[in-house]
Amino acid sequence: MHSSVATATIQPETAIPLKATAVSEHDKFFWAYTEEPHRTRRQAIIKAHPEVTKLCGPEPLTKYCVLGVIALQLACAVALRHNAVLSLPFFLTAYIIGATANQNLFLAIHEISHNLAFRSPMANRLFAVFANLPIGLPYSAAFRPYHLTHHKSLGVDGLDTDLPTALEALFLDSLLGKAFFCTFQILFYALRPMLVYQLPLTSLHLFNIAAQLLFDYLLVTAFGPKPLIYLILSSFLAGSLHPCAGHFIAEHYVFNREAMASKVKKTDVPVPETFSYYGPLNLLTYNVGLHNEHHDFPAVPWTRLPALHELAKEFYADLPCHTSWTWVIWQFVWDREVGLWCRVKRKEGGRKVGGKGWKEEELGANEKGGIPGVK
Protein backbone atom coordinates (compact mmCIF):
# COMPACT_ATOMS: atom_id res chain seq x y z
CA MET A 1 0.00 0.00 0.00
CA HIS A 2 1.26 3.50 -0.81
CA SER A 3 2.64 5.29 2.24
CA SER A 4 1.62 8.79 3.30
CA VAL A 5 5.21 9.45 4.35
CA ALA A 6 7.57 11.18 1.97
CA THR A 7 10.84 9.50 2.87
CA ALA A 8 14.39 10.69 2.44
CA THR A 9 17.84 10.01 3.80
CA ILE A 10 18.14 11.29 7.35
CA GLN A 11 21.20 13.40 8.08
CA PRO A 12 23.60 11.50 10.35
CA GLU A 13 24.15 14.49 12.62
CA THR A 14 20.43 14.78 13.41
CA ALA A 15 19.46 11.12 13.56
CA ILE A 16 19.59 9.16 16.78
CA PRO A 17 20.44 5.50 16.13
CA LEU A 18 18.37 3.00 18.00
CA LYS A 19 17.75 -0.71 18.04
CA ALA A 20 14.35 -1.44 16.54
CA THR A 21 13.70 -4.48 18.67
CA ALA A 22 10.95 -5.72 20.96
CA VAL A 23 11.34 -6.27 24.69
CA SER A 24 9.39 -9.52 24.38
CA GLU A 25 7.52 -11.43 21.69
CA HIS A 26 4.32 -9.78 22.94
CA ASP A 27 5.82 -6.27 22.84
CA LYS A 28 6.24 -4.93 19.30
CA PHE A 29 7.10 -1.29 20.03
CA PHE A 30 10.29 0.28 18.69
CA TRP A 31 12.45 0.40 21.84
CA ALA A 32 15.14 3.10 21.94
CA TYR A 33 18.15 3.16 24.23
CA THR A 34 19.18 6.74 23.55
CA GLU A 35 17.76 10.17 24.37
CA GLU A 36 15.10 11.71 22.15
CA PRO A 37 16.47 13.64 19.15
CA HIS A 38 14.85 17.05 19.52
CA ARG A 39 17.04 18.69 22.13
CA THR A 40 20.15 17.52 20.28
CA ARG A 41 18.88 19.05 17.04
CA ARG A 42 17.80 22.21 18.86
CA GLN A 43 21.33 22.72 20.15
CA ALA A 44 22.78 22.07 16.69
CA ILE A 45 20.40 24.60 15.10
CA ILE A 46 21.23 27.24 17.71
CA LYS A 47 24.92 26.67 17.06
CA ALA A 48 24.46 26.98 13.29
CA HIS A 49 21.87 29.80 13.43
CA PRO A 50 22.12 31.72 16.75
CA GLU A 51 19.50 34.19 15.50
CA VAL A 52 16.86 31.45 15.73
CA THR A 53 16.19 32.33 19.37
CA LYS A 54 14.71 35.65 18.21
CA LEU A 55 11.73 33.66 16.89
CA CYS A 56 10.76 32.64 20.44
CA GLY A 57 8.06 34.43 22.38
CA PRO A 58 4.29 35.04 22.45
CA GLU A 59 2.19 35.68 19.34
CA PRO A 60 -0.41 38.47 19.92
CA LEU A 61 -2.57 37.20 17.02
CA THR A 62 -3.44 34.01 18.94
CA LYS A 63 -5.89 35.67 21.31
CA TYR A 64 -7.84 37.24 18.44
CA CYS A 65 -8.04 33.91 16.60
CA VAL A 66 -9.36 32.26 19.77
CA LEU A 67 -11.98 34.97 20.27
CA GLY A 68 -13.15 34.60 16.65
CA VAL A 69 -13.48 30.82 16.85
CA ILE A 70 -15.32 30.99 20.18
CA ALA A 71 -17.77 33.52 18.68
CA LEU A 72 -18.30 31.24 15.67
CA GLN A 73 -18.95 28.17 17.83
CA LEU A 74 -21.38 29.95 20.13
CA ALA A 75 -23.24 31.40 17.14
CA CYS A 76 -23.61 27.94 15.60
CA ALA A 77 -24.62 26.38 18.91
CA VAL A 78 -27.36 28.94 19.53
CA ALA A 79 -28.55 28.86 15.91
CA LEU A 80 -29.09 25.08 16.14
CA ARG A 81 -31.13 25.21 19.35
CA HIS A 82 -34.37 24.51 17.46
CA ASN A 83 -32.98 21.69 15.28
CA ALA A 84 -33.35 18.04 16.20
CA VAL A 85 -30.08 16.59 17.49
CA LEU A 86 -30.36 13.66 15.07
CA SER A 87 -31.12 15.89 12.08
CA LEU A 88 -28.75 16.21 9.14
CA PRO A 89 -28.21 20.00 9.55
CA PHE A 90 -27.25 19.47 13.20
CA PHE A 91 -24.74 16.71 12.43
CA LEU A 92 -23.24 18.32 9.33
CA THR A 93 -22.75 21.64 11.12
CA ALA A 94 -21.12 19.83 14.04
CA TYR A 95 -18.83 17.86 11.70
CA ILE A 96 -17.88 20.52 9.17
CA ILE A 97 -17.82 23.67 11.30
CA GLY A 98 -17.94 22.51 14.91
CA ALA A 99 -15.30 19.78 14.77
CA THR A 100 -12.92 21.99 12.81
CA ALA A 101 -13.49 24.88 15.22
CA ASN A 102 -13.00 22.77 18.34
CA GLN A 103 -9.90 21.11 16.88
CA ASN A 104 -8.66 24.65 16.37
CA LEU A 105 -9.39 25.38 20.04
CA PHE A 106 -7.65 22.15 21.12
CA LEU A 107 -4.56 23.42 19.34
CA ALA A 108 -4.98 26.96 20.63
CA ILE A 109 -4.82 25.47 24.14
CA HIS A 110 -1.75 23.54 22.97
CA GLU A 111 -0.13 26.85 21.96
CA ILE A 112 -1.20 28.53 25.18
CA SER A 113 0.27 25.67 27.24
CA HIS A 114 3.69 26.85 26.01
CA ASN A 115 2.93 30.44 27.16
CA LEU A 116 2.62 31.64 23.57
CA ALA A 117 -0.46 33.87 23.82
CA PHE A 118 0.70 36.29 26.53
CA ARG A 119 3.96 37.08 28.26
CA SER A 120 2.46 36.45 31.68
CA PRO A 121 2.28 32.72 32.54
CA MET A 122 -0.85 33.31 34.64
CA ALA A 123 -2.56 35.17 31.79
CA ASN A 124 -1.91 32.12 29.62
CA ARG A 125 -3.35 29.77 32.26
CA LEU A 126 -6.54 31.81 32.54
CA PHE A 127 -6.90 32.29 28.79
CA ALA A 128 -6.60 28.53 28.29
CA VAL A 129 -9.59 28.06 30.60
CA PHE A 130 -11.48 30.62 28.51
CA ALA A 131 -10.54 28.87 25.24
CA ASN A 132 -11.74 25.61 26.84
CA LEU A 133 -15.34 26.82 27.25
CA PRO A 134 -16.78 25.84 23.80
CA ILE A 135 -15.23 22.39 24.15
CA GLY A 136 -17.90 21.63 26.76
CA LEU A 137 -15.73 19.63 29.18
CA PRO A 138 -12.86 20.94 31.32
CA TYR A 139 -9.38 19.80 30.35
CA SER A 140 -7.00 22.72 29.76
CA ALA A 141 -5.48 22.71 33.26
CA ALA A 142 -4.71 18.97 33.10
CA PHE A 143 -3.53 19.08 29.49
CA ARG A 144 -0.61 21.42 30.17
CA PRO A 145 1.49 19.29 32.57
CA TYR A 146 0.81 16.11 30.62
CA HIS A 147 1.77 17.84 27.37
CA LEU A 148 4.95 19.42 28.73
CA THR A 149 5.93 16.00 30.06
CA HIS A 150 5.38 14.67 26.53
CA HIS A 151 8.02 17.18 25.37
CA LYS A 152 10.42 16.67 28.25
CA SER A 153 10.12 12.86 28.29
CA LEU A 154 9.25 12.02 24.69
CA GLY A 155 8.69 8.29 24.33
CA VAL A 156 9.51 7.50 27.96
CA ASP A 157 7.36 4.56 29.01
CA GLY A 158 5.15 5.45 31.97
CA LEU A 159 5.58 9.22 31.53
CA ASP A 160 4.69 10.18 27.96
CA THR A 161 0.91 9.83 27.95
CA ASP A 162 0.77 10.30 24.18
CA LEU A 163 2.08 6.73 23.89
CA PRO A 164 -0.47 3.92 23.57
CA THR A 165 -0.20 1.35 26.31
CA ALA A 166 0.72 -2.25 25.50
CA LEU A 167 -2.85 -3.24 26.41
CA GLU A 168 -4.30 -0.85 23.82
CA ALA A 169 -1.84 -2.02 21.17
CA LEU A 170 -2.57 -5.67 21.88
CA PHE A 171 -6.37 -5.50 21.86
CA LEU A 172 -6.67 -3.03 18.97
CA ASP A 173 -4.19 -4.81 16.70
CA SER A 174 -6.66 -5.45 13.87
CA LEU A 175 -8.50 -3.55 11.17
CA LEU A 176 -11.61 -3.21 13.33
CA GLY A 177 -9.52 -2.37 16.37
CA LYS A 178 -7.68 0.41 14.58
CA ALA A 179 -10.94 1.71 13.11
CA PHE A 180 -12.36 1.79 16.66
CA PHE A 181 -9.28 3.66 17.89
CA CYS A 182 -9.51 6.28 15.14
CA THR A 183 -13.24 6.75 15.72
CA PHE A 184 -12.91 7.17 19.49
CA GLN A 185 -9.34 8.42 19.78
CA ILE A 186 -10.43 11.57 21.61
CA LEU A 187 -11.56 9.32 24.48
CA PHE A 188 -8.21 7.51 24.52
CA TYR A 189 -6.35 10.82 24.74
CA ALA A 190 -8.70 12.03 27.47
CA LEU A 191 -8.65 8.93 29.69
CA ARG A 192 -5.21 7.39 29.10
CA PRO A 193 -3.18 10.10 30.92
CA MET A 194 -5.07 9.55 34.17
CA LEU A 195 -4.30 5.83 33.98
CA VAL A 196 -0.58 6.39 33.32
CA TYR A 197 0.05 8.77 36.23
CA GLN A 198 -2.05 11.13 38.34
CA LEU A 199 -1.51 14.87 38.51
CA PRO A 200 -1.50 16.81 41.77
CA LEU A 201 -4.83 18.66 42.11
CA THR A 202 -4.22 22.41 42.04
CA SER A 203 -6.38 25.51 42.38
CA LEU A 204 -6.13 25.94 38.59
CA HIS A 205 -7.74 22.53 38.03
CA LEU A 206 -10.59 23.48 40.35
CA PHE A 207 -11.01 26.83 38.62
CA ASN A 208 -11.07 25.11 35.21
CA ILE A 209 -13.81 22.73 36.40
CA ALA A 210 -15.84 25.46 38.10
CA ALA A 211 -15.64 27.83 35.11
CA GLN A 212 -16.71 25.08 32.70
CA LEU A 213 -19.62 23.93 34.83
CA LEU A 214 -20.81 27.53 35.23
CA PHE A 215 -20.56 28.17 31.49
CA ASP A 216 -22.42 24.95 30.65
CA TYR A 217 -25.11 25.76 33.21
CA LEU A 218 -25.65 29.28 31.87
CA LEU A 219 -25.74 28.03 28.28
CA VAL A 220 -28.34 25.35 29.05
CA THR A 221 -30.39 27.73 31.19
CA ALA A 222 -30.48 30.40 28.49
CA PHE A 223 -30.88 28.27 25.35
CA GLY A 224 -31.72 24.72 26.40
CA PRO A 225 -29.57 21.58 26.18
CA LYS A 226 -29.05 21.44 22.39
CA PRO A 227 -26.29 24.08 22.19
CA LEU A 228 -24.27 22.17 24.79
CA ILE A 229 -24.91 18.90 22.96
CA TYR A 230 -23.64 20.59 19.79
CA LEU A 231 -20.43 21.72 21.49
CA ILE A 232 -19.69 18.31 23.02
CA LEU A 233 -20.53 16.53 19.76
CA SER A 234 -18.16 18.93 17.97
CA SER A 235 -15.40 17.99 20.42
CA PHE A 236 -16.01 14.29 19.89
CA LEU A 237 -15.99 14.61 16.09
CA ALA A 238 -12.85 16.75 16.25
CA GLY A 239 -11.02 13.73 17.66
CA SER A 240 -12.73 11.13 15.50
CA LEU A 241 -12.78 10.38 11.74
CA HIS A 242 -12.11 13.98 10.76
CA PRO A 243 -9.32 15.22 8.43
CA CYS A 244 -7.84 17.50 11.09
CA ALA A 245 -7.76 14.63 13.59
CA GLY A 246 -5.16 12.96 11.42
CA HIS A 247 -2.49 15.02 13.16
CA PHE A 248 -2.85 12.94 16.35
CA ILE A 249 -1.58 9.86 14.50
CA ALA A 250 0.71 11.61 12.00
CA GLU A 251 2.88 13.30 14.61
CA HIS A 252 4.64 10.30 16.19
CA TYR A 253 3.49 6.99 14.68
CA VAL A 254 6.15 5.33 12.53
CA PHE A 255 4.97 4.70 8.96
CA ASN A 256 8.50 4.42 7.52
CA ARG A 257 8.98 1.19 5.53
CA GLU A 258 12.69 0.90 6.29
CA ALA A 259 11.89 1.12 10.00
CA MET A 260 9.27 -1.62 9.62
CA ALA A 261 11.80 -3.87 7.92
CA SER A 262 14.42 -3.16 10.57
CA LYS A 263 12.06 -4.36 13.28
CA VAL A 264 11.84 -7.74 11.56
CA LYS A 265 15.58 -7.93 10.85
CA LYS A 266 16.53 -6.48 14.26
CA THR A 267 19.17 -4.19 12.83
CA ASP A 268 20.45 -0.85 14.09
CA VAL A 269 18.69 1.90 12.13
CA PRO A 270 17.87 5.55 12.69
CA VAL A 271 14.12 5.50 13.32
CA PRO A 272 12.51 8.97 13.21
CA GLU A 273 10.18 9.64 16.15
CA THR A 274 8.39 12.76 14.93
CA PHE A 275 6.91 13.57 11.53
CA SER A 276 5.92 16.93 10.10
CA TYR A 277 3.15 17.79 7.64
CA TYR A 278 3.36 20.90 5.46
CA GLY A 279 -0.09 20.86 3.83
CA PRO A 280 -3.02 23.31 3.80
CA LEU A 281 -4.73 22.02 6.96
CA ASN A 282 -2.03 23.80 8.95
CA LEU A 283 -4.01 26.98 8.24
CA LEU A 284 -6.79 25.65 10.50
CA THR A 285 -4.58 24.08 13.17
CA TYR A 286 -1.96 26.60 14.31
CA ASN A 287 0.71 24.99 12.10
CA VAL A 288 0.78 21.93 14.35
CA GLY A 289 1.83 19.97 11.27
CA LEU A 290 5.30 21.50 11.60
CA HIS A 291 5.82 19.08 14.42
CA ASN A 292 9.54 18.44 14.24
CA GLU A 293 10.01 22.19 14.31
CA HIS A 294 7.66 22.51 17.28
CA HIS A 295 9.41 19.80 19.31
CA ASP A 296 12.81 21.32 18.55
CA PHE A 297 11.68 24.78 19.68
CA PRO A 298 8.54 24.65 21.86
CA ALA A 299 8.86 28.39 22.58
CA VAL A 300 8.44 29.36 18.91
CA PRO A 301 4.77 30.24 18.22
CA TRP A 302 2.72 28.92 15.33
CA THR A 303 3.13 32.00 13.12
CA ARG A 304 6.95 31.70 13.20
CA LEU A 305 7.32 27.94 12.72
CA PRO A 306 7.52 28.35 8.90
CA ALA A 307 10.32 30.91 9.42
CA LEU A 308 12.11 28.40 11.68
CA HIS A 309 11.77 25.76 8.97
CA GLU A 310 13.22 28.09 6.32
CA LEU A 311 16.04 29.31 8.55
CA ALA A 312 17.19 25.79 9.46
CA LYS A 313 16.07 24.08 6.27
CA GLU A 314 19.19 21.92 6.06
CA PHE A 315 18.07 20.23 9.30
CA TYR A 316 14.51 19.54 8.11
CA ALA A 317 14.66 19.05 4.33
CA ASP A 318 15.69 15.39 4.54
CA LEU A 319 13.42 14.27 7.38
CA PRO A 320 10.46 12.03 6.46
CA CYS A 321 7.17 13.92 6.46
CA HIS A 322 3.49 13.28 5.78
CA THR A 323 1.69 14.63 2.74
CA SER A 324 -1.94 14.10 3.85
CA TRP A 325 -3.60 13.74 7.25
CA THR A 326 -6.63 12.10 5.67
CA TRP A 327 -4.41 9.50 4.05
CA VAL A 328 -2.67 8.97 7.39
CA ILE A 329 -5.97 7.84 8.95
CA TRP A 330 -6.80 5.65 5.96
CA GLN A 331 -3.40 3.99 5.92
CA PHE A 332 -3.35 3.55 9.70
CA VAL A 333 -6.61 1.60 9.55
CA TRP A 334 -6.05 -0.45 6.39
CA ASP A 335 -2.30 -1.11 6.32
CA ARG A 336 -1.49 -4.33 8.18
CA GLU A 337 2.05 -3.15 8.88
CA VAL A 338 0.92 0.01 10.66
CA GLY A 339 -0.79 0.14 14.03
CA LEU A 340 -0.57 1.14 17.67
CA TRP A 341 2.68 -0.81 18.06
CA CYS A 342 4.39 1.61 15.67
CA ARG A 343 5.70 4.02 18.29
CA VAL A 344 9.20 4.62 19.62
CA LYS A 345 9.50 3.95 23.35
CA ARG A 346 12.37 4.29 25.80
CA LYS A 347 12.90 3.57 29.45
CA GLU A 348 13.28 6.34 32.03
CA GLY A 349 17.05 6.57 31.64
CA GLY A 350 16.89 6.88 27.86
CA ARG A 351 16.01 10.56 28.00
CA LYS A 352 19.20 11.37 29.89
CA VAL A 353 21.78 9.70 27.63
CA GLY A 354 24.33 12.22 26.39
CA GLY A 355 22.91 15.18 28.29
CA LYS A 356 20.76 16.49 31.13
CA GLY A 357 17.58 16.55 29.07
CA TRP A 358 15.02 19.29 28.67
CA LYS A 359 14.65 21.95 31.34
CA GLU A 360 11.25 23.42 32.15
CA GLU A 361 12.31 26.88 30.95
CA GLU A 362 12.98 25.42 27.48
CA LEU A 363 9.41 24.10 27.16
CA GLY A 364 7.75 27.46 26.61
CA ALA A 365 8.16 31.23 26.55
CA ASN A 366 8.82 32.91 29.91
CA GLU A 367 8.61 29.49 31.55
CA LYS A 368 9.76 28.91 35.10
CA GLY A 369 10.98 25.69 36.68
CA GLY A 370 9.00 23.42 38.95
CA ILE A 371 5.74 23.02 37.00
CA PRO A 372 3.35 20.82 39.06
CA GLY A 373 2.77 17.48 37.36
CA VAL A 374 5.60 17.75 34.79
CA LYS A 375 7.99 14.79 34.97
Q: Which amino acid is at 16?
A: I
**What's the pLDDT at 222?**
98
Q: Which residue in 282, 318, 319 sits closest to 303, CA to CA? A: 282
Tens digit of each residue's pLDDT (9 = 90 or more) over 57-82: 999 999 999 999 999 999 999 999 99
312 contacts 45 by C-beta, under 8 angstroms:
yes
Integer Cα distance of 309 and 311 in angstroms: 6
Q: Residue 321 in 3-state DSSP?
A: strand
36: confidence class by pLDDT, cuts 50, 70, 90: confident
Tens digit of each residue's pLDDT (9 = 90 or more) over 237-294: 999 999 999 999 999 999 875 655 555 444 444 578 999 999 999 999 999 999 999 9
Task: Kindly list the distances between the CA atom of residue 265 and the CA atoms of 27, 229, 262, 342, in Å, as whole numbers in the listed order.
Answer: 16, 50, 5, 15
85: confidence class by pLDDT, cuts 50, 70, 90: very high
Lowest-pLDDT range of 19-23, 142-146, 347-351: 19-23
Q: How many CB atoms lie within 10 A of CB 8?
A: 11
Q: What is the DSSP string of 17-59?
A: EEE-B-SBTTB-SEEE-S--SHHHHHHHHHHH-GGGGGG-S--
Task: Kindly list the distances between the CA atom of residue 148 and the CA atoms of 3, 35, 358, in Å, as whole numbers in the listed order.
Answer: 30, 16, 10
This prediction has a pTM of: 0.89
